[in-house]
């Protein structure tokens, strides 16, 4: 993205975590939109077979978290890990047969979510230690003072197309535009933790649940209408939030594929360009990256 | 209020113990409002005096202020159960402290960790303190209320509550509810995606020019009002469903936090063909101290 930023002033901090197990309880089942009981994998652990660029929905899964789901075992350190880690940050595997492999953060979902190339992912399991090079919180665009940037590695910003236009607006390429009605669980939470579940993307369920979002892909850059995520996540007419779809298929009602927040500001501060290629897969996860 | 048989099953009442909550803050006093300004949250939970049903939702400079005493339980599982089973209108009685013997009623509930909001007479609230034990006669959750067609689901409403509210089922048509405002689902904030049996739904009611174009009554909402939300189904978590309607009772006031606002405890949800709402901007009367016999 052709834009002036304060990237040189950001600090890089080394954080640690581990691939965290999926969690359940003895009642097993949860409830879908029509009251259907379900027990489906998706959250936690090392989820295989879904990567950036792949469809977000269409799986027998709930709260699908592509790749590795990472936490820190100490509660305070975990919140630091969740808040400070940004989309695009490099993550190195430190233990197990995949030690030395590097992947990238694709979002947050009460776990840090890390996509690895498929051959690497096959070798990773719960408990494997990882190192995150956290950089990005505090990133600012001096030429766009109305826009607040969150959770965005400066390398990701540099790789994205668009930038400052002659009219002063920030051009951002988006793969999809999301109506305000789609915002589900996550409303009211802080913008540096978890993501914003989008309703209306229940592939295979009734048309009365649809907002036409079944075509979303993991890694898609999206614009959410009416979303002001500058200081938390709320509805504000005339604002929008740019996010990256970091989670997929949900069966739990009021939940769905979710963007992690990247930028937020007044609509007129942005110039959106509809671009089906606006996906993390276009800029990250080069098969020749270190560790492959 | 008695619960007669309906739908083949009778309602069960359970006496449950709640404890008047003490507000809790972290090691910084500040939260951050929607404009990025720090503020100190006053009145968020606990026992609040001087805020009553019928007050405007933004009458006081507080955060999620509820009219009365919030009840919790020290055991998280017991706290969830207390919140899940308590219904609006259920009787509450103070068991310990200077207000022992005072009688009140459940006004509503709040989500996440869970709180039951109970109303008492102001002179009783003034003698209560955090830690006082209050028993709630929980009754009505999951029960098929009489005179409500099967297509409409009732939640969080004690037996007899609907008869005391502007809820009618005229001539076999849809159940019709008088409300202060009918709001679009895009205003649904915190609570969306959560279970309506134990979690309220915050309404993000914009103030000032941002409220232009919103439905009539949006700027007139009072504590205790009934409010409808379109395209919202709350039977199995709260979520978007085209053509549905949900009606709730406004149980706490506004919040500076983004994504938060006055909260409703849902009481009715159903398809638009079975459940409809009629706005009465100036004359609406929802849950009042008179209905709960708090005067």
Which residues fall within 8 angstroms of residue A129, CB to CB, at 6 or more apart? A16, A17, A18, A93, A94, A95
Closest CB from B186, B190, B237 relative to A31: B237
* Three-state helix/strand/coil letters over chain A: CECCCCHHHCCCEEEEEEECCCCCCCCCCEECCCCCEECCCCCCCEECCCCCCCECCCCCCCCCCCEEEEECCCHHHHHHHHHHCCECCEEEECCCCCCCCEEEEEEECCCEEEECCHHHHCCCCCCCEEEEEECCCCCCCCCCCCCEECCECHHHHHHCCEEECCCCCEEEEECEEECHHHECCCCCCCCCCCCCCECCCCCCCCHHHCCCCCCCECCEEEEEEEEECCCCCEEEEEEEEEEEEEECCCCCCCCCCEEEEEEEEEHHHEEEEECCCCEHHHCCCCCCCCCC
Q: Among residues B211, B89, B92, which one has the least CA distance to residue B140?
A: B89
Average the pLDDT over A90-101 and give the result: 97
| pLDDT value at B209 more than 80 | no
pLDDT digits (tens, 9 = 90+) for B50-84: 999 999 999 999 999 999 999 999 999 999 999 99
Which pLDDT score, from 0 to 100, does residue B150 have? 84
Q: What is the pLDDT of residues B20-47, one digit of tens each?
A: 999 999 999 999 999 999 999 999 999 9
Q: Does the distance separating the beta carbons of A236 and B239 come in below 8 Å?
A: no
> How many domains is chain A built from?
1
How do B13-20 and A176-178 pair as beta strands? unpaired
Which residues are registered as beta bridge partners of A163?
A: A2, A171
Give the mean pLDDT of B98-117. 97
Q: Which residues of A touch B194 (CB under 8 A)?
A: 185, 254
Q: Are A113 and A65 in contact (CB under 8 A)?
A: yes
Q: What is the pLDDT of residue A287?
A: 45
CB-neighbour burial class of residue A23 (10 A; exposed 0-12, middle 13-18, buried 19+): exposed
* Chain A contact set for B254 (CB, 8 A): none
Q: Are residues B100 and B172 in the same domain?
A: no
Q: Is the pLDDT of residue A31 over 70?
A: yes
What average pLDDT does the structure give for chain A?
A: 95
Angstroms from B159 CA to nearest CA on chain A? 24
Is the separation of the CB atoms in A209 and A33 below 8 Å? yes
pLDDT of residue B108: 98
User: Best mutation site among B30, B31, B153, B193 for testing chain A: the one with the most A CBs within 10 Å?
Assistant: B193
Would you say B277 and A248 are in contact if contact means Cβ atoms under 8 Å apart?
no
Tell me the C-alpha distance between B66 and B44, whole Å. Answer: 8
- A104 — pLDDT class (breaks 50, 70, 90): very high
For A:267-286, CB contacts with B below 8 A are: none
CATH number at residue B170: 2.102.30.10
Both B61 and B160 in one domain: the answer is no
The span from the CA of B3 to the CA of B17, in Å, is 21
List, edge to edge, every strand of the sheet that includes B275-279. Answer: B167-168, B175-179, B275-279
Residue in B193, B204, B206 nearest the CB of A254:
B193
**Token pair 């004359």 is at which residue?**
B283
Mean pLDDT of B110-119: 96
- Is the separation of the CB atoms in B162 and B145 below 8 Å? yes
At A234-257, the pLDDT tens digits run 999 999 999 999 999 999 999 999
- Residue B5 is assigned to a structural domain of this protein: no
What pLDDT was estimated at residue B2? 45
Spatial distance between the Cα atoms of B238 and A38, rounded to a whole number of angstroms: 17
A191-205 residue pLDDT tens: 999 999 999 999 889
pLDDT (0 to 100) of residue A214: 94
In order of B62, B66, B149, B255, B289, the CA distances from B51 in angstroms are 11, 7, 35, 15, 12
Q: Across the interface, do B260 and A234 touch by the CB < 8 Å criterion?
A: yes
Same domain (yes/no): B228, B273: yes
Q: Work out the pLDDT band at B208, boundaries 50, 70, 90.
A: low
Whole-number CA gyration radius for chain A: 18
A257 contact B CB<8A: no
Please indicate if any CB of chain B lies within 8 Å of the CB of A29: no
CATH of the domain at A72: 2.102.30.10
Domain containing B271: what range?
Answer: 153-279
Inter-chain touch A253–B239, beta carbons under 8 Å: yes
Q: How high is the pLDDT of residue A290? A: 42
Residue B252 lies in a domain: yes
CA distance B30 to B258: 14
CATH number at residue B63: 2.40.10.170
Q: Could you tell me the CA-to-CA distances from A131 to A55, A72, A101, A219, B157 in Å, in that order? A: 28, 11, 11, 22, 51
Q: Closest approach of chain A CAs to the CA of B222, in angstroms?
A: 21
Domain presence at residue B125: yes
User: Cα-Cα-Cα-Cα dihedral of B19, B25, B27, B29, to 10°?
Assistant: -150
From the CA of B208, how many Å to the nearest CA of chain A?
12
Same domain, B122 and B36: yes
Give me the residue from A34, A184, A207 closest to B192, CB to CB.
Answer: A184
Q: Which of B186, B194, B202 sits opposite A180 (nearest CB)?
A: B186
Task: Give, rounded to a whole angstrom, the gap between the first and last alpha carbons of chain A.
Answer: 27
- Average pLDDT on B164-191 reads 95
DSSP state of B75: S
> Measured between CB atoms, does A115 come within 8 Å of chain B?
no
- Report how many domains make up chain B: 2
**Which letter does DSSP use for residue B85 in this model?**
H
Is B185 in the same domain as B134? no
Which among A147, A148, A254 is the top mutation candidate for probing chain B, defined by the most B β-carbons within 10 Å of its own β-carbon?
Answer: A254
Query: Nearest-CA distance from B35 to chain A in Å?
Result: 7
- A150 touching B (Cβ < 8 Å): no
B81 shares a domain with B174 = no
**Residue A106 banded pLDDT, cuts 50, 70, 90:** very high
Say which range, B91-95, B120-124, B213-217, has the weakest mean pLDDT: B213-217
Are B107 and B24 in the same domain? yes
Q: Which residue in B has a C-alpha nearest to residue A207's C-alpha?
A: B242
Q: Is the pLDDT of residue A286 over 90?
A: no
| Look-up of token digits 């003072």 | A145
Q: Tell whether the model's pLDDT for residue A285 goes beyond 90.
A: no
- Evaluate whether residue B180 is within a structural domain: yes
Q: What percent of chain B has pLDDT over 70?
A: 96
Residues of B with CB under 8 A from a CB of A: 32-36, 184-194, 202, 204, 206, 210, 231, 233, 235-244, 257-260
Q: Tell me if B103 sits within 8 A of B135, measured CB to CB.
A: no
Answer whether residue B291 is part of any domain: no
Q: Which helix (H) or strand (E) holds B80?
A: helix B76-85
Contact across the interface for A34 and B236, Cβ inside 8 Å: yes
State the pLDDT at residue B1: 43
Within 10 Å of residue A56's Cβ, how many Cβ atoms? 28
**Which pLDDT score is estimated for B147?**
84
Separation of alpha carbons A150 and A264, rounded Å? 8
Residues 195..234 of A with a Cβ closer than 8 Å to B: which? 197, 199-200, 207-211, 226, 228-234
Q: Using an 8 Å CB-CB cutoff, list chain B residues near A183.
A: 186, 192
Residue A173 to residue A163: CA distance in whole angstroms: 9
Same domain assignment for residues B160 and B126: no
Q: Are residues B122 and B181 in the same domain?
A: no
CB distance B238–A32 less than 8 Å?
Answer: no
Mean pLDDT over residues B142-149, rounded? Answer: 91
What integer pLDDT is reported at residue B213 of this predicted model?
Answer: 84
* Among B154, B144, B160, B119, CA closest to B248: B154
- Confidence label for B172 from pLDDT (cuts 50, 70 and 90): confident
Minimal CA separation from A98 to chain B, in Å: 37
Does position B4 have pLDDT exceeding 60, yes or no? no
pTM of the model: 0.94
Under 8 Å CB pairs connecting chains A and B tally to 118
Q: Which of B111, B192, B196, B212 to mutate to test the interface with A (most CBs of A within 10 A)?
A: B192
**Nearest C-alpha of chain B: how many angstroms from A283?**
32
Q: What is chain B's mean pLDDT, rounded?
A: 95
- CB burial of B86-101 (b: ≥16 within 10 Å; e: otherwise) equals bbbbbbbbbbebebee
Helix (H, G, I), strand (E, B) or coil at B210: helix
């Amino acid at each position: 993205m052709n834009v002036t930023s304060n990237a040189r002033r950001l600090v890089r901090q080394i954080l640690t975590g581990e691939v965290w197990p999926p969690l359940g309880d003895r009642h097993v089942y949860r409830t879908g939109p029509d009251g259907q009981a379900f027990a489906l994998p998706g959250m936690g652990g090392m989820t295989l077979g879904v990567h950036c660029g792949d469809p977000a929905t269409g799986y027998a899964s709930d709260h699908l978290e592509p790749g590795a789901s990472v936490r820190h075992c100490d509660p305070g350190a975990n919140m630091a890990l969740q808040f400070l880690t940004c989309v695009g940050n490099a993550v190195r595997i430190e233990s197990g047969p995949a030690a030395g492999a590097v992947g990238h953060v694709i979002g947050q979902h009460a776990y840090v979510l890390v996509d690895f190339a498929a051959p690497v992912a096959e070798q990773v399991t719960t408990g494997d230690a990882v190192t995150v090079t956290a950089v990005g919180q505090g990133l600012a665009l001096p030429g766009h003072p109305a826009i607040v940037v969150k959770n965005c590695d400066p390398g990701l910003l540099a790789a994205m197309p668009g930038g400052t236009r002659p009219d002063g607006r920030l051009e951002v390429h988006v793969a999809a535009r999301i109506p305000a009605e789609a915002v589900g669980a996550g409303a009211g939470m802080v913008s540096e933790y978890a993501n914003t579940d989008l309703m209306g993307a229940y592939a295979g369920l009734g048309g009365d649940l649809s907002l036409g979002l079944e075509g979303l892909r993991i890694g898609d850059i999206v614009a959410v209408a009416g979303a002001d995520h500058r200081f938390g996540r709320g509805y504000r007419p005339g604002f929008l939030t740019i996010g990256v779809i970091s989670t997929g298929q949900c069966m739990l009602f009021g939940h769905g594929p979710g963007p992690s927040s990247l930028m937020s500001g007044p609509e007129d501060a942005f110039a959106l360009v509809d671009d089906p290629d606006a996906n993390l897969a276009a800029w990250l996860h080069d098969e020749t990256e270190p560790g492959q | 209020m008695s619960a007669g048989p309906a739908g083949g099953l009778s309602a069960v009442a359970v006496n449950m113990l709640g404890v008047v909550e003490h507000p809790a803050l972290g090691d910084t006093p500040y939260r951050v409002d929607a404009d990025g300004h720090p503020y100190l949250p006053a009145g968020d939970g606990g026992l609040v005096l001087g805020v009553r049903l019928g007050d405007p939702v933004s009458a006081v400079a507080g955060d999620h202020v509820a009219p009365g005493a919030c009840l919790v339980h020290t055991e998280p599982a017991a706290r969830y159960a207390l919140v899940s089973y308590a219904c609006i209108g259920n009787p509450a009685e103070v068991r310990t402290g200077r207000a022992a013997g005072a009688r009140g009623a459940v006004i509503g509930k709040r989500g996440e960790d869970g709180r039951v909001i109970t109303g008492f007479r102001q002179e009783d609230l003034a003698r209560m303190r955090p830690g006082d034990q209050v028993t709630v006669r929980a009754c009505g959750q999951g029960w098929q209320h009489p005179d409500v067609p099967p297509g409409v689901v009732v939640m969080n409403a004690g037996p007899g509550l609907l008869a005391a509210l502007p809820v009618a089922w005229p001539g076999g048509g849809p159940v019709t509810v008088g409300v202060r405002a009918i709001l679009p689902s895009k205003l649904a904030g915190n609570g969306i995606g959560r279970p309506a049996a134990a979690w309220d739904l915050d309404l993000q009611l914009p103030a000032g020019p941002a409220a232009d174009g919103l439905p009539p009554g949006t700027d007139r909402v009072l504590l205790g009002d009934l409010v409808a939300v379109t395209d919202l189904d709350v039977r199995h978590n709260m979520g978007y469903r085209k053509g549905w309607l949900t009606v709730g009772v406004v149980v706490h006031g506004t919040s500076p936090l983004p994504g938060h606002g006055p909260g409703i405890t849902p009481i009715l949800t159903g398809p638009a063909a079975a459940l409809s709402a009629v706005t009465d901007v100036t004359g609406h009367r929802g849950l009042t101290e008179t209905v709960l016999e708090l005067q």
